[in-house]
Amino acid sequence: MLLKKVLIEKTIATGLQTGADFAEVFIEDTTTENIQLIGGRVEKANSQKIFGVGIRLALGLQSVYGYTNSKNPEEILKLASDLSKSFSNDKRTAAIPLGEPDVGSHHKARINPRTVSRSRKVELMRSAYAAAKEYDPVIVQVAVNLGDVVQNVLVANSEGRFAADERVRVRIYVNAIAGKDGVMQTGGEGPGAAKGYEYFFDELDIAEIARDAARAAKTMLFADECPSGVMPVIINNEFGGVIFHEACGHSLEATSVAKNASVFCGKLGQQIASPIVTAIDDGTIENGWGSANFDDEGYPQKRRVLIDKGILKTYMVDKLNGRRMNHAPTGSSRRESYKYAPTSRMSNTFIANGTSTFDEIIAATEYGLFAAKMGGGSVNPGNGDFNFAVSEGYLVRNGKIAEPVRGASLVGNGAKILWNIDMIANNLERARGMCGSSSGSIPADVGQPTLRVSQITVGGKKGAK
């Protein structure tokens, strides 16, 4: 075990000694390996060993958090004692003794990254490099990054919760740069999974991924600047789901809801979206990028239907924000590492399939933008205003996909866009992302079928059409 049970129990008891009503210990042991290949040569390679203990105490709505990467029992107990000094409450809460930890049985990795040689990893990267470079002479540079993480966590709390989980994740990024006459454009792909190297060896066609990155870069090199103005936008499946993640997902996290800082406060049971919209956050998808057996408070991850046919069904809630909201936790508490107190976060979030087809949506659009691939984006949860970048776009004219356009971004308001979704296809796919928020940067899947938003502001360099 990462830390002796008797020390964990003693730490919890120390945390409770001045009257806190909740104490939690989070222990993490993580190893990572990252390799960078640029221009066909391995430029950088490094490995990392992370270890630390995070202690959280709460009394009512007030919480304190501290961490250390000392393994020394005296220093860990001193941290618990220092933190406990924030409270003085006559009523004492006794900790429920810990049994044996629950151990996660899903999302297993068949080929542990630590058993794969570095040279075998480099072979994978070289195959990606070659496929992208050979795609076309305009591809002037290809950068490939390969990373893997093995994170072991142990969470225990004063309510007797005790859980152990191993999270294994692998990911490859291929970035292709196309250049001509001093102009450069990029295309990128970054597939990954909560799996071991079986994902690369047996499942993923790395060359295909690399060619797709090169194809996007070349397409954008010869694309015209995107026109600007308000128009219908067809957002493609897979990473197109970042729209829901940014525009609505963040505003459904207790982090903003509990503090009355979300546009969706007090809207449970109400219609907040077009009736064709059903949205789900599911942390239980087998080997999903954002999946885990337990959340970072040690409770089982769950499948949460956030919006059912336009009606808001639940928020994503962690333990302490749940106290403020009078809402049961939903297994949604996550954190990047022991350096962060956990809070409510998304896992694998997606819009469910609709009844249209991709072809029907294109055919039904006289003029608009088809956002084939999205970049990232951000949202202000306080008023729901969002932006995101289109990394590969095309104009749609007379019901057909027409010329490619580059440099487009979309801006809008989360609460409004949910009402403006007027067609949803039946081709749901998910894609990998890293989501940054108050508890750090965590892996999260986004996803959706291809869908159409009846009107949205498109920003480009070209000016009005």
Partner 1 sequence: MIMMNLELLFKTAKARGISDVQVFLSDRSELSIEVFDGELDKYEISASSSMTIRGVYNGKMGTFVTEVFDDEILPQIVDSIIGSAKIIDALEDAIIYAGDKEYAKLEGLFDETLKNQDVAEKIQNVKKLDKAMHEADPKVTTVETMYSETTRRILLQNTKGLRLENVVNSAMIGGSAIVKDEHDQRTAFDLIISNDPKDLDVGPLADKIVRDAVSALGAKPIPTGAYEIVFKPEALQTLLSAFQGVFSAEAVHKNMSLLKGKLGTVIGSPLFTLVDDPFMKKSSRSRSFDDEGVATKYKALIDKGELKTYLYNLVTAKKDGVVSTGNGFGGSIGPVNLKVLPGETRYEDMLASVRNGILVKDVQGAHAGANPVSGDFSLQASGFVVKDGVIGAPVALITVAGNIIQMMKDVVAVADDLKTGYFGITSPSVKIKSMAVSGI
Residue ranges of the alpha helices (H) in 281-401?
319-325, 358-363
Query: Which residue, 285 or 410, is less far from partner 1 as judged by CB?
Result: 410
Query: Which residue, 18 or 185, is less far from partner 1 as judged by CB?
Result: 185
Contacts of 161 by beta carbon, 8 Å cutoff, 6+ apart? 155, 297, 298, 299
Query: Which residue, 107 or 218, is less far from partner 1 as judged by CB?
Result: 218
Site for partner 1 in 312-351 (CB under 8 A): 339, 341
Site for partner 1 in 83-122 (CB under 8 A): 83, 86, 118-119, 122
If binding is defined by CB under 8 A, does position 82 make contact with partner 1?
A: yes
CA angle at residue 423 from 264 to 238, to 5 degrees? 75
Site for partner 1 in 412-431 (CB under 8 A): 412-413
Q: How far apart are CA 382 and CA 241, in angstroms?
A: 21
Query: Which residue, 131 or 143, is less far from partner 1 as judged by CB?
Result: 143
With CB under 8 A as the rule, give the number of residues binding partner 1.
79
Whether the CB-CB separation of 142 and 210 falls below 8 Å is answered with yes
Query: Which residue, 162 or 315, is less far from partner 1 as judged by CB?
Result: 315
Query: Which residue, 84 or 293, is less far from partner 1 as judged by CB?
Result: 84
Rounded least distance, CB 134 to partner 1, Å: 17
Contacts of 222 by beta carbon, 8 Å cutoff, 6+ apart? 404
How are beta strands 303-308 and 279-282 bridged, if at all?
antiparallel
Query: What's the token pair of residue 306?
Result: 């956030």
If binding is defined by CB under 8 A, does position 35 make contact with partner 1?
A: yes
- Of 6-14, 199-207, 297-305, 453-461, the segment contacting partner 1 by CB under 8 A is 453-461
Q: Site map for partner 1, 248-287, x if CB under 8 A?
A: -----------xxx-x------------------------
If binding is defined by CB under 8 A, does position 141 make contact with partner 1?
A: yes
If binding is defined by CB under 8 A, does position 185 make contact with partner 1?
A: yes
- Of 130-138, 164-172, 232-240, 370-378, the segment contacting partner 1 by CB under 8 A is 370-378
Element spanning 38, H or E = strand 22-38
Query: Which residue, 169 or 373, is less far from partner 1 as judged by CB?
Result: 373
Residue ranges of the alpha helices (H) in 2-151?
5-16, 73-84, 118-133
- Of 14-22, 278-286, 346-354, 455-463, the segment contacting partner 1 by CB under 8 A is 455-463
Contacts of 93 by beta carbon, 8 Å cutoff, 6+ apart? 16, 19, 20, 21, 22, 158
Element spanning 435, H or E = strand 429-437
Which of these, 14, 138, 118, lies nearest to 75 by C-alpha position? 14
Rounded least distance, CB 429 to partner 1, Å: 20
Contacts of 234 by beta carbon, 8 Å cutoff, 6+ apart? 361, 362, 365, 368, 369, 370, 371, 396, 450, 451, 452
Residue 258 is which amino acid?
A
If binding is defined by CB under 8 A, does position 73 make contact with partner 1?
A: no
Site for partner 1 in 208-247 (CB under 8 A): 226, 228-230
Rounded least distance, CB 94 to partner 1, Å: 23
Count the neighbouring beta carbons within 10 Å of the beta carbon of residue 352: 19
Count the neighbouring beta carbons within 10 Å of the beta carbon of residue 24: 27
If binding is defined by CB under 8 A, does position 300 make contact with partner 1?
A: no
Query: Which residue, 184 or 364, is less far from partner 1 as judged by CB?
Result: 184
Rounded least distance, CB 285 to partner 1, Å: 25
If binding is defined by CB under 8 A, does position 366 make contact with partner 1?
A: no
Q: Site map for partner 1, 142-181, x if CB under 8 A?
A: -x---------------------------------x-x--
Side-chain half-sphere of 307: how many Cα atoms within 13 Å? 28
Q: How far apart are CA 172 and CA 201, in angstroms?
A: 12
